[in-house]
Structure 1
Amino acid sequence: MALIGARAGVRYRVMRASPPALLAFFYLIFAVIGGLLLWAPISSNANVGWVEALFTSVSAVTVTGLVVVDTGADFTLFGQAVIVILMQLGGLGLVTFAVFVLSALGMQVGLGQRLMLREDLNQSNIGDLLMLVRTVFVVSLGCEAAGAVVLATVFVPDHGLWPGIWAAVFHAVSAFNNAGFSLWSDSLIGYALDPVVNVVVPVLFITGGLGFIVLSDLQRKRRWRRLGLHSKIMLVGTAVLIVFAWIMFAALEWTNPGTLGAIDSVGGRLMAAWFQAVTPRTAGFNTIDTGEMHDSTALMTMTLMLIGAGSTSTAGGIKVTTFAVLILATIAFVRRESELHCFGRSLGVDEVMKVMALTTASMLIVFLSIFAVSISHDGSFLHLAFEVTSALGTVGLSMGATPELDTTGRCIIMAVMFFGRVGPLTLGFFLATHTVARVRYPPGQVYLG
């Protein structure tokens, strides 16, 4: 009886927890379970210890892609399958999976589950959540299947029938979920000049990074004028960032013998520059050696990793819409305007406050994490900052510092990856919770600038 009472008490406390707390709890539980599975002898060889297995699991659940062991060499087929499942769960959202299974079984999805789903999908209402979940699954599984079929035409001739098919499936799931895991230690450097890989993989992670709200909006409305403000900002912002990054990466690395300079043809350099321009928007694959990039290129890549992709997507970062609102708020301040205007719509002060809170929290995490990692690891400051930014943006690009970190450094990176995936959702919940001030104080003045 006492055991039953204890279980009932735990269940009551869990159900009383806030939706973002439950969401973070579920991500943590799946990360631990994944770590145990990857640590088992059936999943890995002797090179994978408990810390390495847990690090890989956290990286997969948070769809980051940072690794401390060789995914293809150190994990068996079973272990690689576990990583694929963790990437799929982390990319589409654990709660999304749960609600989809419940609805498929004909079970009623209650208010509590809808609230958790709302946080997982970063929505402000619970009205059309189940329809959005169906859209999520149809789009994601369809894109992954199509991507795997096309990639198989390249990987099967190179690696054989079944290894090639598995490589195609693995990389299609990893690409659409913006996870960045690869079965090869050099990621996709071996396919830097392959046109199929350089088109299919970016299309997958750009589609996944746009966000399911944008994809659903495009499917239903199909005309620019009828699209919502969020979709318009995402589409324009994504296009501008891609073009800007493509031009800048090509200009900065064109003669670098460690990156683009090692490619003889102009078309090959442009193709590699294209891939590296879009992958920081939290895909994590690379077709050139990121450790050989110039410092200026690394700084630009860090900025792109911090921005990330779209809300309600498989990607991370502070999101394109957040960055766009920051720019719009700055322009409005310079013009002495009291409201933000974009595509014939206005944004209020609440949106600006939310953006400022999210950006400030993210920057503080970056600075504190770089400080903490630099204490336990005496390496290049730029490389450490690059790894931390990649972890927070759940990108997975690396300049080689992560595998060299000690246990303390790896634990810090795991915490940053976890916050990068779950933190914005948790922060968004508190930002969406309005409270009425019981006490009002007289206005004061602070001199800025």
Structure 2
Amino acid sequence: MKHFVEFLKYQPPGRLITTGFAVVILLGAFLLLLPCSVKDGAEVSVIDALFTSTSAVCVTGLIAIDTADHFTALGQAIVALLIQIGGLGVTSVGVGIMIAAGRKVGLRGRTLVKEALNVDSYGGLVKLVKAILITTVCFETAGAVLSFIVFVQDYAPLHALGISVFHSVAAFNNSGFDILGGLRNLTPYQDNILLNLTTCTLIFFGGIGFLVIMDVLKRRNFRKLALHSKVVLTTSIVLIVLGTVLLKFTEHISWMGAFFHSISARTAGFSTYSIGEFTNAGLFVLCVLMFIGASPGSTGGGIKTSTFFVLAQSTRSMFSKQAVGAFKRSISSQNVSKAYAISMLSALVVIVATFLLCVLEPEFQFIQLLFEVISAFGTVGLSTGITPDLSGAGKLVIILVMFIGRLGAMTLISMWIERPEKMIRYTEETIAIG
């Protein structure tokens, strides 16, 4: 045991975080296979349990089997717990448990939290974790109360309470799971203004990231916000508005439906209309929104809003001959390089996974397979309805993509590459681009 602890001390943060997520996923799959988790008469295969656990921990929402129809109340509670752990992050939950137990968080624990939350310094990490946990409880409690007002009209009070808590946890953690049954998601409530707005609010705040929430609560003035917060809020609002308009004019849905899906497509995965009935144009709009995703330090996936913003500003600077920047601040060349690297690696993951699905699932259309892969990578959970019909091999591909999407391609690469920076610099020479 002593040797194992020593071994862990020298592992890079990316490797430990990845291992932690993998362990939680495997443990979740095991718990979902227990007889007490499966309803009488329902069948849950190993691959479907693994798929559900991965989707929950990676806060995706793609389902191979319906959660309400196959799992008991205990099984559904396990799914909700996996969503909560996945949304907050394994390291944040672990540190939170240590804080609750009164134990001191060492440098190693702080390093893992710093890596997981993508912050720049070690200062105030314990306070940040405490604030994250308190913020999560506040948002999810408020969301559960407002959701209960809606669900209690159709279900018995105790059942409605369970649905409300589950829905609030899933929405704030940007996971599109539901326990209404029949693979319906939220289609029965497409015209319910309270539930739509409650869900959208939970998704939005869960998706902008805890750092932005803390900054907004602290400064309460857009001009005084940090550059990161300004970038995230501006990009998020622009994408929501643009997505709403495009979806409204490409699909026969209400403005409420367009607004809801524009927000949900940014990694939440709830739907109030059947995605399988959307046109190719509408699916393409959703693909773009899903690929961009949420924001750093949030419960969502994708390449992140800040990455997209830096790419856009970098492209603009090439034509304007000005330095890359925004809001009277410059953006470092390191951030620009990282944004391009993340985008290229993410695109590569989507391309390879889509190709594999095209080989493994030739009976489905290309747009359906591409949509499924991007949804998995962005940890969204939207689907055209093909997920339950994928083969075992196809589901394994989606499982891997969900895992990569939640952790991030850069984190997975850092899991294996941990080399000191070379002191040697070669002569610089230009090459023709474009």
* TM-score, normalization by structure 2: 0.96
Query: Which stretch shows the higher mean deviation, 314-323 or 419-428?
Result: 419-428
**AA in 2 matched with 1:168:** S
Runs of 5+ consecutive residues of structure 1 not aligned to the other structure: 1-6, 255-259, 261-268
1:346 counterpart residue number? 330
Q: Quick one: distance in 2 between partners of 1:356 and 1:282?
A: 21
1:372 counterpart residue number? 356
2:197 counterpart residue number? 199
- How far is the alpha carbon of 1:88 from its aligned partner? 0.3
Of the three residues 116, 123, 139, the one matched with 2:112 is 116
- How far is the alpha carbon of 1:135 from its aligned partner? 1.4
Contact 2:139/2:202 (<8 A) preserved:
yes
**1:184-242, Cα deviation, whole Å (9 max, x unpaired):** 32100000000111110010010100100000001111112210000001111111111
2:128 counterpart residue number? 132
Q: How does 1:86-235 map to 2 (within 5 A)?
A: 86-184=82-180, 185-235=183-233
How many residues of Structure 1 are paired with residues of Structure 2 in the alignment?
A: 429
- How far is the alpha carbon of 1:440 from its aligned partner? 2.5
Contact 2:15/2:415 (<8 A) preserved:
no
**1:136-156, Cα deviation, whole Å (9 max, x unpaired):** 111111110011011111101
**AA in 2 matched with 1:245:** G
Of the three residues 72, 76, 83, the one matched with 2:79 is 83
Contact 1:122/1:425 (<8 A) preserved:
no
Q: Aligned pair 1:355/2:339, yes or no?
A: yes
- How far is the alpha carbon of 1:9 from its aligned partner? 2.9
- How far is the alpha carbon of 1:14 from its aligned partner? 2.2
Q: Quick one: distance in 2 between partners of 1:186 and 1:271?
A: 18
- How far is the alpha carbon of 1:444 from its aligned partner? 2.3
* Gap change, CA 1:430 and 1:222, over 3 Å in 2: farther
2:304 counterpart residue number? 319
Of the three residues 250, 253, 257, the one matched with 1:252 is 250
Query: Which stretch shows the higher mean deviation, 423-432 or 142-151?
Result: 423-432
Q: Aligned pair 1:35/2:29, yes or no?
A: yes
Q: Aligned pair 1:10/2:7, yes or no?
A: no
User: What RMSD, in angstroms, separates the aligned Cα atoms of the two structures?
Assistant: 1.6
2:376 counterpart residue number? 391
**1:374-418, Cα deviation, whole Å (9 max, x unpaired):** 111111111000000000000000011221111111111000000
Contact 1:119/1:429 (<8 A) preserved:
no
1:4 counterpart residue number? none
* Gap change, CA 1:357 and 1:329, over 3 Å in 2: same
- How far is the alpha carbon of 1:439 from its aligned partner? 2.4
**1:16-49, Cα deviation, whole Å (9 max, x unpaired):** 2111110110100000000000011111143211
1:412 counterpart residue number? 397
Contact 1:354/1:431 (<8 A) preserved:
no
**1:422-441, Cα deviation, whole Å (9 max, x unpaired):** 12461696899895433222
Q: Quick one: distance in 2 between partners of 1:17 and 1:24?
A: 11
Q: Aligned pair 1:422/2:420, yes or no?
A: no
Q: Aligned pair 1:289/2:274, yes or no?
A: yes
Contact 2:18/2:415 (<8 A) preserved:
no
Q: Quick one: distance in 2 between partners of 1:74 and 1:399?
A: 21
Among all aligned residue pairs of Structure 1 and Structure 2, give the percentage whose two residues are the same amino acid.
37
Contact 2:55/2:61 (<8 A) preserved:
yes
**1:308-366, Cα deviation, whole Å (9 max, x unpaired):** 111100111111000000000000011122x2120010012111100011111000000
**1:68-122, Cα deviation, whole Å (9 max, x unpaired):** 0011111110000000000000001111011112122221111111000111111
1:257 counterpart residue number? none
Runs of 5+ consecutive residues of structure 2 not aligned to the other structure: none
